[in-house]
Amino acid sequence: MLIDTNGTYIACYLSYIMMMFNNIKIKFVISIVICQFAGVIGSVVTALTVTTWYPSLTKPNLSPPGWIFAPVWITLYFLMGMSLYLICTNNKVKNNSRKKALVVFGIQLILNVFWSLLFFV
């Protein structure tokens, strides 16, 4: 269950993880690791299945080469990690707004993982 009546599990888990660490550098690293882990889950599923059907597709001439996808996705998940870090460390934001931001962030991160599972499996 992702959402309960008093808030969300997503916000609670992300907040709990970030509150465990007082050091700002550690919070930054943890934020990046959380998002990169989500990317790894999606990439494992993708790597196992994309080799069977993707090469047989007729692609347009402007289709990017296959090697470019890994650095682009790593960069995107790194930027998501930076966003998580900014949400968790911005003291100018009220706790209720932070909670809402963490909910939206957590949902989009989960959807990113499930998109790979649904599309490539």
The answer to whether residue 1 sits within a structural domain is: no
- By three-state DSSP, how is residue 8 classified? strand
So what's the pLDDT on residue 59?
Answer: 87
The answer to whether residue 9 sits within a structural domain is: no
The answer to whether residue 29 sits within a structural domain is: yes
The answer to whether residue 98 sits within a structural domain is: yes
pLDDT band per the 50, 70, 90 thresholds, residue 1 = very low
pLDDT band per the 50, 70, 90 thresholds, residue 25 = confident
So what's the pLDDT on residue 16?
Answer: 64
Domain that holds residue 116: 23-50+65-120
Question: How far, CA to CA in Å, does 58 sit from each of 32, 53, 62, 63, 74?
Answer: 36, 11, 12, 10, 26
Q: Which residue carries 């932070």 as its tokens?
A: 98
Residue 25 C-alpha from the chain's centroid: 19
pTM (2 decimals)? 0.77
- Return the percentage of the chain with pLDDT > 70, whole number: 82
How many H-runs (helices) and E-runs (strands) does the chain carry? 4, 2
Total count of domains within the chain: 1
